[in-house]
Structure 1
Amino acid sequence: MPAGGKPTVHSRRLGHALKRLRLAARLDQEHAAEAVACSIAKISRIESGAVGARVGDVRVLLDLYAVESADERRRLETLARNSNKRGWWLNFEFQAPSMERLGDYLSLETDATYIRTWQPVFVPGLLQTPEYTRALTEANPEALSEGEADAIATVRQERRRVFEESGARYAAVIWEPALTSPMPSAQVHRAQLAHLMDMAEQPKKTIQVLPHSEWAAARVAPAFVALSYANEAAPDVIVQDTMVNSVIVDDQEDMVGYVHAFDALRSAALTPGQSVAFIRKIMNDIAVEKEEA
């Protein structure tokens, strides 16, 4: 059983993939149960993510479903191996109510090979400075203490370190108001913009600014993150945050609209080079405003 006695993100992803492959092979759960010498009920629980699957059983099922792709087999075997793996974020003593939701997302993000994000309101999490993160945390309606706010900022910076070490590709489209709206101080604002420019210069990272005038494009979708695995360009999962949880979309048909939305956003946005120049101008304007004050 997955850690904690309930489905984990890894077990759900594995179960969904195995079900998709079984249906593509035109086999029913009885065939799968016979192959791994278990009950049909267990196959059903594996496919729902309610229980984990042993690596050996996954290999048998992949053989049964005629999966020949080495990358696909390796990815699913890794999911099976990691179903009970303790997430790095659980090593931090502080666990806010929102950390369970963040933990589900981090389980998805940690394994991703390509991350695409659209953010009309805030700087995307992986691009935030500690000071910017802390300011957002302090504005949280949960009214966290100073120590709790510091702990969340620390977790988010560790998240960025893990991402940097993963070597994943990253593309972000940010609407102009997220960059020009007032921040807690001119110093925090300039530091955040300078960090964005530094990140934009790193390999495998693309940052584009959607001008305020492109309001029609900005309304094609609310903020979302598209995550891809095994070097596939097509997303495997879409994640959207609400006030109380994270909505995970993994149905291929449902994800098509998000793919089209991100393509439209990138087309309407400034080029990466223009975006860096635009961010630099915003930062310089902030500096001038302080000198004139």
Structure 2
Amino acid sequence: MRTVAVQTGADERGGGMPAGGKPTVHSRRLGHALKSLRLAARLDQEHAAEAVACSAAKISRIESGAVSARVGDVRMLLDLYGVESAEERRRLETLARNSNKRGWWLDFEFQAPSMERLGDYLSLETDATYIRTWQPVFIPGLLQTPEYTRALTDANPEALAAGAADAIVAVRQERRRIFEKSGAWFAAVIWEPALTSPMPSSVAHRAQLAHLMEMAEQPRKTIQVLPHGEWAAARVSPAFVALSYANEAAPDVIVQDTMINSVILDGQEDMAGYMHAFDALRSAALTPAQSIAFIKKILNSIAGEKEET
């Protein structure tokens, strides 16, 4: 297990520091992949350094993510490591190109502390080809309407400066837009209380449920409701998001939120445990078709409520 951390490092010929002068998720993922390939090829850092005409110290910094690798260097390393898969080579070259890429969320004028902590996760989410999430308390972020996000923001115990709520809602909606445009596969299991708990506005509540139904009928989107009575299944894990890349079904990363940051898990034992939990949740949940009908039933139950003025 590891938490999102900040490191620094100097560069020599080529490459350069990742954007912002600190490791990015892209540079860390690239470095981890290159190190794994080098070890699989049974080569040491001196061999890699010789191939790209640099020092072993620079290879170490590339593998830690402290220095971003140039695309040309990545190609030479992949040749050295015997990587022939065109898809794998494209994936790693893309990571190299994106290591210095400015995150889209940094274009928003207001940067609340919570938004800064979100940056690493947004990098992971933006590149994912398959997203799975278990949410026992909230509607998953990628499925939230602006009104629902606003309600959560207004209830946030963290003191937010003027304009913070608007920025957070804007970032969340940009996440939705990027996600829906990406064509990534998505599967969510949501516990019933997250759907039935009253919201400050019944209009916003109905709109959120209607949006869930609409998303559940979209290609590559699966939403399942875990009934309230399935308590044993609901306690298998706190909320988490599993992210996969390069069209692989197996997750590469598990992300969980804490009060102060996002915890990123990338060990194989971590993956197995969380996927076992997700499979258990999906098995205990209503089928996708039953879930749509269930959400519709909840929506209809609040349709006649009078909106407070």
Q: TM-score, normalised by structure 2?
A: 0.92
| Residue of structure 1 equivalent to 2:298 | 282
Q: What count of residue pairs does the alignment treat as equivalent?
A: 291
More helix as a share of residues: 1
Q: Partners in 1 of 2:222 and 2:39 — Cα distance? A: 37
Q: Partners in 1 of 2:106 and 2:260 — Cα distance? A: 20
8 Å CA contact 1:138, 1:144 repeated in 2: no
| Residue of structure 1 equivalent to 2:245 | 229
| Residue of structure 1 equivalent to 2:227 | 211
Q: 2:52 aligns with which of 11, 29, 36?
A: 36
| Residue of structure 2 equivalent to 1:132 | 148
Distance 1:146 1:185, change over 3 A: farther
Report the aligned-residue RMSD. Answer: 1.2
Q: Partners in 2 of 1:256 and 1:107 — Cα distance? A: 23
| Residue of structure 2 equivalent to 1:21 | 37
| Residue of structure 1 equivalent to 2:216 | 200
| Residue of structure 2 equivalent to 1:96 | 112
| Identical columns (%) | 88
8 Å CA contact 2:103, 2:123 repeated in 1: yes
Q: Partners in 2 of 1:21 and 1:265 — Cα distance? A: 34
* Residue 146 of structure 1, CA deviation: 5.1
| 1:68 aligns to 2:68 (yes or no) | no
3-state SS of 2:272 partner: helix
Q: Specify which structure has the bigger relative contact order, considering alpha-carbon pairs within 8 angstroms and separated by 6 or more residues.
A: 2
Code of the residue aligned with 2:97 in structure 1: it is R
| 1:171 aligns to 2:187 (yes or no) | yes
8 Å CA contact 2:244, 2:253 repeated in 1: yes
Matches of residues 91-170 of structure 1 in structure 2 within 5 Å?
91-145=107-161, 147-170=163-186
Q: 1:263 aligns with which of 279, 286, 301?
A: 279
Q: Partners in 1 of 2:81 and 2:272 — Cα distance? A: 25
3-state SS of 2:279 partner: helix
* Residue 65 of structure 1, CA deviation: 1.3
Matches of residues 43-54 of structure 1 in structure 2 within 5 Å?
43-54=59-70
* Residue 288 of structure 1, CA deviation: 3.9
Matches of residues 71-82 of structure 1 in structure 2 within 5 Å?
71-82=87-98
* Residue 253 of structure 1, CA deviation: 2.6
Q: Partners in 2 of 1:182 and 1:21 — Cα distance? A: 51
Structure 1: gaps spanning 5 or more residues: none
Q: Partners in 2 of 1:111 and 1:223 — Cα distance? A: 21
8 Å CA contact 1:18, 1:47 repeated in 2: yes
Cα offsets for 1:125-180 (capped at 9, x unmatched): 00000000011111111222452101110111011001111111111000111111
Q: Partners in 2 of 1:274 and 1:175 — Cα distance? A: 14
Q: TM-score, normalised by structure 1?
A: 0.96
| Residue of structure 1 equivalent to 2:288 | 272
| Residue of structure 1 equivalent to 2:199 | 183
